[in-house]
Amino acid sequence: MIHNISSNASLLNTFLSEIRNIEVQKDPLRFRRNMERIAEILGYEVSKHLSYIESEIQTPLGKAIIALPKEKPILATILRAGLSMHQGLLNYFDQSESAFISAYRKHSTAEDFEIYVEYMASPNLDNKIWIISDPMLATGSSMVAVYQAMLRYGNPKRIFIVSAIATPQALDYVVKHLPENTEIFIAAIDQELTAQSYIVPGLGDAGDLAYGEKI
């Protein structure tokens, strides 16, 4: 199931407009914070699809019954671009464990590339809920490669994908290659993908905007 959160106007659109804005992008701190805010909103939307159990809470004046999350999801992100979104999710799922995966494009030509996963640090993932964040889903190849790498640490109970911007091509690819119980939460869907697999209008390179240009 794909949830395009910006299909209904909300404050999310303000943060989305700023990460796209070429002038606002000159401030890396603001770019990172806006990515964090977007992830917080998407994480809140994900939380509506988790399982809950009623718990009794003692207050100074009595007892309150509150439905609390039944289990803690694992938060996984793709280095380095996903770090800001990961922090946003961690702000809300503040007792969750984290997994970090390094994935990058290795180009043979300007238009042809393979996805390489070189590094992964992860807790036990078996029979856990996975929330995987990546700012941009251009082709979906990186997300699928990361999912396959994570399988070395266990099989998921359920998967949630959190991303700021995606293309229809990427969403189709992810849906085809991930389990049926995967749900995708997107802040925006852009229709165009260039021959070099960049999203248009997109926002540029999220990792470079957040942490500086690579050499």
- The verdict on residue 205 lying in a domain is yes
What does the chain come to in residues?
215
- The verdict on residue 63 lying in a domain is no
- Strands 63-69, 52-58: parallel, antiparallel or unpaired by DSSP? antiparallel
pLDDT at 110: 46
Helices (H), 123-166: 141-150
Range of the structural domain that residue 16 is part of = 2-48+73-211
- The verdict on residue 56 lying in a domain is no
| CATH number for the domain that contains residue 144 | 3.40.50.2020
Q: Under DSSP, is residue 206 helix (H, G, I), strand (E, B) or coil?
A: helix
- The verdict on residue 68 lying in a domain is no
- The verdict on residue 57 lying in a domain is no
Q: Are 174 and 144 a contacting pair, CB within 8 Å?
A: yes
- The verdict on residue 61 lying in a domain is no
- The verdict on residue 66 lying in a domain is no
Check residue 157 and report its DSSP letter: S
- Report d(CA 146, CA 74) in Å as an integer: 14
Nearest C-alpha neighbor of 133 from the set 39, 213, 211: 39
Q: Which amino acid is at 141?
A: S
Q: Are 165 and 203 a contacting pair, CB within 8 Å?
A: yes
Q: Is 32 exposed, middle or buried (0-12, 13-18, 19+ CB in 10 A)?
A: buried
* pLDDT tens sequence for the chain (215 residues): 899 998 899 999 999 999 999 999 999 999 999 999 999 999 999 999 999 999 999 999 999 999 999 999 999 999 888 999 999 999 999 999 999 998 766 655 544 556 677 888 999 999 999 999 999 999 998 899 899 999 999 999 999 999 999 999 999 999 999 999 899 999 999 999 887 788 999 999 999 999 998 87
- The verdict on residue 59 lying in a domain is no
pTM over 0.85, yes/no: yes
186's tokens: 């997107």
Per the structure, the count of domains in the chain is 1
Helices (H), 78-205: 83-92, 141-150, 168-177
Using the structure block, give the residue that is written with the tokens 């992810």. Answer: 174
